[in-house]
Structure 1
Amino acid sequence: MGNSAGLPPIYADTQIELVPAKVITSFPVNTFLENLAMPAAGYAYAPDGTIFVSNHEIGKIVRITPDGNQQIYATVEGKVSGLAFTTNGDLVTTGWNADSIPVVSLVKSDGTVERLLTLPDAIFLNGITPLSDTQYLTADSYRGAIWLIDIAQPRGSIWLEHPMLARSSSENVTPAANGLKRFGGFLYVSNTEKMLLLRIPLGIGDEPGEPEIFVEQTNIDDFAFDVEGNLYGATHIYNSVVRIASDRSTTIIAQAEDGVICSTAVAFGQGKGDVYDGLCLRTAILYVVTNGGMSLPPPTGVVPANVVRLEVGKTGYPLT
């Protein structure tokens, strides 16, 4: 992974263990794929392996089937950033309306869009993740805060506002608090502008504790956890995907040559299961979306935005 753009060499000495990678579909040059989500199994509108991707700049949510076929699933007025599925298969989205005011919307399984909330006190709603069946947390990348969204009410309120979630300067356009995911008793948050991966303890009633630095000098956009607690992160302008183990060690698992130029988000799917010695060994599949270098073009210029499939290992499940 080269550093020809003159970026800080934060991954120069990082171990590299590349995994099998395949581009499953591409979008035209200057398409900003921002996020992706995969529903639970069993929904007729989304056969197993279906991916939903946010095309940020034009407010489109695209449904991608396992063979790479693209279909417009929904159109959100303005721009769309984060995606998260509800327990009944609807999609919660963050973004801006046509007047650049932050909004939270609900996309039904038939693709219809319902405006849930307008949040004029927010600035830049970004990643979103479930906290409970009806409550979600979303990062506000420019306010330096995390909002609590209750889709049943619906209503929104500040869950945590903290200097560690904020930018170093309000003039810096790089997002601060960006991706966020819960694992165990913590909420993990990437502060991309400060190159930090943060960890926030969850107290009684999922109230936030004091943020702490989990990993520093790492450029993470959005990320996902596997069942063992390994974090897989899109490094955006560093044109790679990394795995951060629970001991905080980092390994590069995909590079620009694998199609992950300006990787923005990752999410887990599942591959084919094989039976071996009483276990179903299922290939763990990580999907990656990119913007092809729109944020920081490579020497060759901006390239098509990709959805990339990474095979990151095997997970065993007992046969029943």
Structure 2
Amino acid sequence: MNHDGGITEVLPVTCLATWPRGSFVESVAVSASGAIFVSLHTDQMVVRIDPATGAVSPFASFPAPTTGLAFAADGTLVVTGGAPGTPPGLVWRVSPEGAVQQVAEIADAAFLNGLTPLGSRMLIADSLGSRILALDPATGAVETWLADPLLGADPASGAPGANGIKVFGNMALISVTGADRLVGVPIDQGRPGTPEVLAEALRADDFAIDAGGSLYIATHQAQSLLRLAPDGTRTTLAGAGEGMVGSTAVAFGRTEADRTAIYVTTTGGTWTVPEDQLEEAKLLRIDVGQPGAPLLGED
């Protein structure tokens, strides 16, 4: 791992919810109404958390491990999953009542991961395929949107390649965890341009973006939350002492009450620390003083 955390300016952190040691809490998404949804990879389910009380309730169960979460343009929750390293990759839609419908089975995808809306489609990171897929969640139609060596991991890293993905303005931003880099891909009328490396020495899992273009990055193995400003300045906002052990994913609140807050999921160290040092998996809340950027890209 090659990670530069920059300077450190710790912000207050609140723990909203916890799960037992060994739980792999993988992703987080916030609905337009403010409800928080979290994927429990090890439990093959998605749970719903009340942001005001931290109350956790079961939402949907799946036939395989769950990975990425994101809301489509029509407000439907879309979930990626499957057994990592074993095809096929699976994608489901989940109704507001928690009914699960499989919409795609991708035979040559062994590890579907983060996803984000781009117009009516979803861009999905294929972590072992060095590519980004484009899926129509209404029909299940899927195509390779971009394949490039920059999206692949260093085989010696033991970490995924393309992992988190978000769209900001006319650019898709992609964290390539096992290569310690952030890649940017220009978008023109829904199609990708030539990818470029935007940052290196950066152990990045999932991330969220504020309205000014700063990224808030879960660094997973680096056990922290890092802010990457548009000018390249790096600031570690919270570390292991603040609960960021095995930080996996980040999402902004979407209501007036939490529009400047981010929610961060952690594994408590599953996969990253010795078993006798495992902590509970957590959902953490941090107010960063800036609202999140719009979630929908322009197709």
Say yes or no: TM over 0.5. Answer: yes
Deviation at 1:88, TM superposition (A): 3.5
Deviation at 1:123, TM superposition (A): 1.7
The letter of the residue matching 1:10 is: D
Number of the residue aligned with 1:247: 231
- Does 1:216 pair with 2:204? no
Contact 1:102 1:125 in 2 (8 A): yes
1:183–1:159 distance in 2 versus 1, CA, 3 Å: same
- Does 1:22 pair with 2:14? yes
Q: Which runs of 5+ in 1 are unaligned?
A: 1-6, 42-47, 274-281
Contact 1:82 1:126 in 2 (8 A): yes
Number of the residue aligned with 1:276: none
Contact 2:3 2:180 in 1 (8 A): no
- Does 1:226 pair with 2:213? no
Which is higher, the Rg of structure 1 or of structure 2? 1
Q: State how 1:24-63 maps to structure 2 within 5 Å.
A: 24-41=16-33, 48=34, 50-63=35-48
Query: Cα RMSD (Å) of the superposition?
Result: 2.0
- Does 1:72 pair with 2:48? no
Contact 1:271 1:284 in 2 (8 A): no
The letter of the residue matching 1:181 is: K
The letter of the residue matching 1:117 is: A
Distance (Å, rounded) in 2 between the aligned partners of 1:256 and 1:27? 17
Contact 1:196 1:217 in 2 (8 A): yes
Number of the residue aligned with 2:77: 91
Contact 2:3 2:203 in 1 (8 A): no
Q: Which runs of 5+ in 2 are unaligned?
A: 293-299
TM-score scaled by length of structure 2 = 0.92
1:255–1:97 distance in 2 versus 1, CA, 3 Å: closer
1:161 counterpart (147, 150, 163): 147
The letter of the residue matching 2:56 is: Q
Distance (Å, rounded) in 1 between the aligned partners of 2:83 and 2:178? 25
Q: State how 1:108-187 maps to structure 2 within 5 Å.
A: 108-132=95-119, 134-169=120-155, 172-187=157-172
Contact 1:283 1:312 in 2 (8 A): no
Number of the residue aligned with 1:279: none
Three-state SS of the structure 1 residue aligned to 2:57 is: strand
Distance (Å, rounded) in 2 between the aligned partners of 1:313 and 1:210? 33
- Does 1:289 pair with 2:274? no
- Does 1:191 pair with 2:181? no
Identical positions, percent? 36
Distance (Å, rounded) in 2 between the aligned partners of 1:227 and 1:315? 6
Contact 1:34 1:290 in 2 (8 A): yes
Contact 1:97 1:103 in 2 (8 A): no
Deviation at 1:270, TM superposition (A): 5.0
Distance (Å, rounded) in 1 between the aligned partners of 2:113 and 2:192? 19
